[in-house]
């Protein structure tokens, strides 16, 4: 795959929002707004909470809606005594395509570490799904000029030991923590330079083929107003959207706003 064939991926991370009933209504309304051409131009994934995955899957299947199903987290073991956890095999059985791994909210509030992220990445790939590996710096690290070394370190740890063919399929989400839910997105220049550094590190560690193929999303206060510019950047191939993915019309507006 070359730069030319990296199809943009716009993902809606609902976080802890929407019951399964809300989710069904969302998908029906959302799908109605998108055309075949929108789907051809942009790949879309929806990441509802675990409790809504089956409902969303059923609507997508029944209405043959070409939107990918995604999860927000996963456990790295296939099964076992891990109360409250969900395995990659369980997600794969629901036709989940993408699994968010290492979101900063999980790193901050739930003890996610580079080590657990790495185990989850392997489990997701082994189950035939694609991880969306989240990396991002906090405000203090940014002010200290440590952004690139920090995010490259997070990505290196997440992909260590993964075969190049598998790395090529991975999606990386660069989400500066200070930009999440604040209305203050990174500038396109900053997003591009961090994305370029991430791609370069993948090329160095896993080969230029993987570096060229890997898709890099930007996340953090993405709206219809800044999405087009972000996707126009040479190394940004999509977006991971939180707040602006919660309303069907608003999220559909992000995708239809990319029409030529």
Residue given tokens 């395509």 in the structure block? 97
Tell me the C-alpha distance between 119 and 104, whole Å. 16
Among 175, 195, 210, 218, binds ligand 13P (CB under 6 A): 175
User: Shortest distance, CB of residue 166 to ligand 13P, whole angstroms?
Assistant: 23
Catalytic residue list contains 165: no
- Number of C-beta neighbours around residue 63 at 10 A: 12
Tell me: does residue 154 bind ligand 13P (CB under 6 A): no
221 lines the binding site for ligand 13P (CB under 6 A): yes
Residue 19 half-sphere exposure toward CB, CA atoms < 13 A: 2
Query: Is 186 within 8 Å of 178 (Cβ atoms)?
Result: no
Distance CA 34, CA 112 (A): 36
CB-wise, 103 or 215, nearer to ligand 13P? 103
Asked whether position 186 contacts ligand 13P by CB under 6 A, the answer is no
Q: Binding ligand 13P by CB under 6 A: which of 8, 9, 10, 13? A: 13
Yes or no: say if 48 and 18 are a contact pair by the CB < 8 Å rule: yes
Contact call for residue 242 and ligand 13P (CB under 6 A): yes
Q: Does 181 bind ligand 13P (CB under 6 A)?
A: yes
Least Å distance, CB 47 to ligand 13P, is: 8
Angstrom distance (rounded) from CA 45 to CA 194: 23
Name the active-site residue from 105, 112, 137, 175.
175
Q: How far apart are CA 141 and CA 53, in angstroms?
A: 35
Q: Token match 């991370």: residue?
A: 13
- Which stretch in 36-44, 74-82, 89-97, 239-247 sits in contact with ligand 13P by CB under 6 A? 239-247
Catalytic residue of the set 18, 47, 75, 103: 103
The binder of ligand 13P chosen from 117, 240, 254, 255 (CB under 6 A): 240
**Is there binding between residue 180 and ligand 13P (CB under 6 A)?**
yes
Does the annotation count 175 as an active-site position?
A: yes
Quick one: three-class SS letters along 148-199?
HHHHHHHHHHHHCCCCHHHHCCCEEEECCHHHCCCCCCCCHHHHHHHHHHHH
Contact between 222 and ligand 13P by CB under 6 A: the answer reads yes
**Among 8, 70, 176, 219, which residue sits at the site for ligand 13P (rule: CB under 6 A)?**
219
Residues at the contact surface with ligand 13P, assessed by CB under 6 A: 13, 103, 175, 180-181, 219-222, 240-244
List residues with catalytic annotation: 103, 175
């Amino acid at each position: 795959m070359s730069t030319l064939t990296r199809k943009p991926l716009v993902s809606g991370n609902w976080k802890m929002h929407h019951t399964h009933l809300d989710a069904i209504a969302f998908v029906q309304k959302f799908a109605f707004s998108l055309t075949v051409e929108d789907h051809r131009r942009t790949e879309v994934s929806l990441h509802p909470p675990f409790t809504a995955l089956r409902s969303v899957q059923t609507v997508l299947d029944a209405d043959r809606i070409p939107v990918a199903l995604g999860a927000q987290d996963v456990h790295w073991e296939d099964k076992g005594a891990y109360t409250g956890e969900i395995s990659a095999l369980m997600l794969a059985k629901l036709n989940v395509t993408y699994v968010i791994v290492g979101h900063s909210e999980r790193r901050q509030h739930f003890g996610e570490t580079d080590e657990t992220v790495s185990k989850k990445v392997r489990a997701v790939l082994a189950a035939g799904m694609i991880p969306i590996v989240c990396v991002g710096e906090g405000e203090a690290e940014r002010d200290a000029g440590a952004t690139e070394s920090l995010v490259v370190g997070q990505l290196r740890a997440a992909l260590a030991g993964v075969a190049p063919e598998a790395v090529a399929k991975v999606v990386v989400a660069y989400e500066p923590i200070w930009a999440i839910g604040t209305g203050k997105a990174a500038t396109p220049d900053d997003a591009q330079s961090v994305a370029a550094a991430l791609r370069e590190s993948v090329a160095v560690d896993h080969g230029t083929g993987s570096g060229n193929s890997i898709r890099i999303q930007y996340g953090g206060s993405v709206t219809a107003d800044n999405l087009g510019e972000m996707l126009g950047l040479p190394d940004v191939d999509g977006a991971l959207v939180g707040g602006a993915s919660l309303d069907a019309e608003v999220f559909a507006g992000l995708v239809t706003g990319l029409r030529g």
